[in-house]
Structure 1
Amino acid sequence: MKYKILTEASGSLTTGYLIKAIQSAGHLAVASDIDDDIAGRYIAEDFILMPRVRDPELWNKTLDLLENNQINIVIPSLDETLLGWAERKNELKQKNIHIILSDPETVHVCTDKWMTYLFFKEAGIPTPESSLEQTYSLVKPRMGRGAVGVLVDPGPVSMEGMISQELLSGVEYTVDVFCDRHSQPIYIVPRKRLKVREGKSTGGIVVDHPLIFEWVRRICQSLRFCGPINIQCFECPDGSIKFLEINPRIAGGMALGFAATENWISLIIDTFIKEKELVPKDIQYGMKMMRFYDEIFIP
């Protein structure tokens, strides 16, 4: 059976890999965005124009669009809608629409950086010291993604909706993790971020890092995850690891995680739809990713 799989924010520069992964797995990619003039709609099999996040009828309209377009699976990727999707997982499953996302309690912890910090501290996960006051040199929004709104040594600023955090030095890693329907991490793929643009990875290399594996397994034991998630950490100059963020969703740089293992779209269908037990393949350590622009011409 071919499933119709919806991807969010298909106007992103990194959305192409996910659409191609859906197609490579033998399914139908349905792009979506609030803008109908985007490249994603032309490489996917279908396109849905979505309501804006601030639309008071957002979820009524969204549910109608899913049913009218016979969507089988949604892979959320937009931070602003993650909690809304999570809260509707069970309702939509009754309609045979599967939302590939962790439960609301997990999403709430991960999308609020202060809540993430408190979780790390309670679970004994090493993390930079943080405060709701302007105590540390790094200031960033409690809710947000990428590098948007992040300030270093800004001088006095309003801390409404912000946290301050100890500024780390060392090597930055992004860890792609795939958790099955039992919330067990099937793949843990650390990748060293070689190049970053606007908070998105444009180059990286997969690294065999036992200490990161150990800590990520502990994170997954302490909080229930479903499907693809993305964890940010630093290897400090003394060799220790400190964790900053958990993105409880698919991420733009996961193209490298897919390439170094297997197509995670097939994993999603096997564990969440067909309820198969997953057997991981060997991770291709040392695999490197480089990104470049491509063009679509529309007559």
Structure 2
Amino acid sequence: MTLNILTEASGSLTSAYLIKAVQEAGYRAVASDINPDCAGRYLADDFILMPSKNDINLWEKVVPALAQRKVNLVIPSLDETMLGWAERKKELKKLGIHVVISEESTVKIFQDKWLTYRFFLEKGIPTPKTSLEQQYPLVKPRQGRGAVGVVVTSDSVNMEGMISQEVIEGEEYTIDVFCDKISNPIYIVPRKRQGVKDGKSTGGIVVKQVEIISWVEKICKSISFIGPINLQCFVCKDETIKFTEINPRVAGGMALGFAATENWINLIVDHFFYDKDIKPKPIKFGMKMMRYYAEVFVS
């Protein structure tokens, strides 16, 4: 059966790998974006023009568009719509559309950096000291992605909708994780971030960091995750580890996680659509990723 698989934010610089992964798995990639002329439109097999995230009729427009394009499966990747997908995944499943995302309660916690901090404290997960007041030099939005709105300052900042956090020095890691239906982490792929720009890694190397893997296993036992998720942490100069955030979605740098294991699109389809068991493959520790710009020409 040829499935139609929707990917989001198909105009972003990191979206092409996911479209390519869908096609390499043998399925039709349906790109989507608010920009009708984005590169992903021409890389994919089909395209849905998305309404603005601020459109009051957003979902009343999106759901019929999914049905019209006969979308079978959705892999959310956009922070602004994650909660909406989670809220509607049971409703969409009745229409034959499978949304691979964690439960609504999980998404709510990790879309809010203050709630994330409280979760880490409650579960005994090491994390930087954090405050709703301007107590620490690093100031960032409670809800946001990448490096947008993040500053290190001693100047007074309006802290409405913000948190402050102690500055952590050390090596930054991103961990790509694939969880099954009952939150078992099938793959845990720590990658040392290299060449970070605007909060996105332009390269990395897969590292067998045993302590990070152990902490991630504990986190996955503490709350329910479904499908691809992405965690960020630092290995500090004193060799302690501190987790900073969790993104319960597929991530832009996850191409390296795919390459070091297998095409996760196949895992998603087999496990979440066809209800098959997963047999993990060995992780290729030491694998490196370097990124470059590529062009799409349309006549």
Quickly name the TM-score band, shorter chain normalised.
over 0.9
**Counterpart position of 1:54:** 54
User: Which AA in structure 2 matches 1:156?
Assistant: S
User: Which AA in structure 2 matches 1:244?
Assistant: T
**Counterpart position of 1:126:** 126
User: Which AA in structure 1 matches 2:275?
Assistant: E
Q: What SS does the aligned partner of 1:119 have? A: helix
User: Which AA in structure 2 matches 1:7?
Assistant: T
> Could you tell me how far 1:70 is from its partner in structure 2?
0.6
* CA–CA distance in structure 1, aligned partners of residues 296 and 274 of structure 2: 35
**Counterpart position of 2:68:** 68
> Is 1:191 aligned to 2:164, yes or no?
no
Q: Render the CA deviation track for 1:143-188: whole Å, top value 9, x for unaligned.
A: 0000000000151010000000011000000000000112110000
* CA–CA distance in structure 1, aligned partners of residues 72 and 226 of structure 2: 17
Report percent identity of matched pairs: 64
Q: What SS does the aligned partner of 1:175 have? A: strand
User: Which AA in structure 2 matches 1:4?
Assistant: N
* CA–CA distance in structure 2, aligned partners of residues 19 and 172 of structure 1: 27
Q: What SS does the aligned partner of 1:253 have? A: helix
**Counterpart position of 1:135:** 135
Q: Unmatched 5+ residue regions in structure 1? A: none
- Aligned structure 1 segments of 4 or more residues deviating by more than 6 angstroms: none
Q: What TM-score results when the alignment is normalised by the length of structure 2?
A: 0.99
* CA–CA distance in structure 2, aligned partners of residues 154 and 237 of structure 1: 24
**1:268-283 superposed matches below 5 A:** 268-283=268-283
**Counterpart position of 2:178:** 178
> Could you tell me how far 1:127 is from its partner in structure 2?
0.3
> Could you tell me how far 1:236 is from its partner in structure 2?
0.5
**Counterpart position of 2:147:** 147
**1:96-135 superposed matches below 5 A:** 96-135=96-135
User: Which AA in structure 1 matches 2:280?
Assistant: P
User: Which AA in structure 1 matches 2:21?
Assistant: A
> Could you tell me how far 1:276 is from its partner in structure 2?
1.1
> Is 1:290 aligned to 2:266, yes or no?
no
* CA–CA distance in structure 1, aligned partners of residues 162 and 103 of structure 2: 25
The CA RMSD measured in Å over matched residues stands at: 0.6
* CA–CA distance in structure 2, aligned partners of residues 221 and 259 of structure 1: 26
> Is 1:246 aligned to 2:276, yes or no?
no
Q: What SS does the aligned partner of 1:88 have? A: helix
Q: Unmatched 5+ residue regions in structure 2? A: none
| Further displaced range: 194-203 or 4-13 | 194-203
**Counterpart position of 1:93:** 93
User: Which AA in structure 2 matches 1:33?
Assistant: D
* CA–CA distance in structure 1, aligned partners of residues 154 and 55 of structure 2: 34
Q: What TM-score results when the alignment is normalised by the length of structure 1?
A: 0.99
**Counterpart position of 1:27:** 27
User: Which AA in structure 2 matches 1:227?
Assistant: G
1:154 to 1:48, Cα distance in 2 relative to 1, 3 A: farther
Q: What SS does the aligned partner of 1:298 have? A: coil
* CA–CA distance in structure 2, aligned partners of residues 118 and 288 of structure 1: 34
User: Which AA in structure 1 matches 2:7?
Assistant: T
* CA–CA distance in structure 1, aligned partners of residues 215 and 297 of structure 2: 46
**Counterpart position of 1:266:** 266
* CA–CA distance in structure 1, aligned partners of residues 183 and 3 of structure 2: 23
User: Which AA in structure 2 matches 1:113?
Assistant: K
**1:161-172 superposed matches below 5 A:** 161-172=161-172
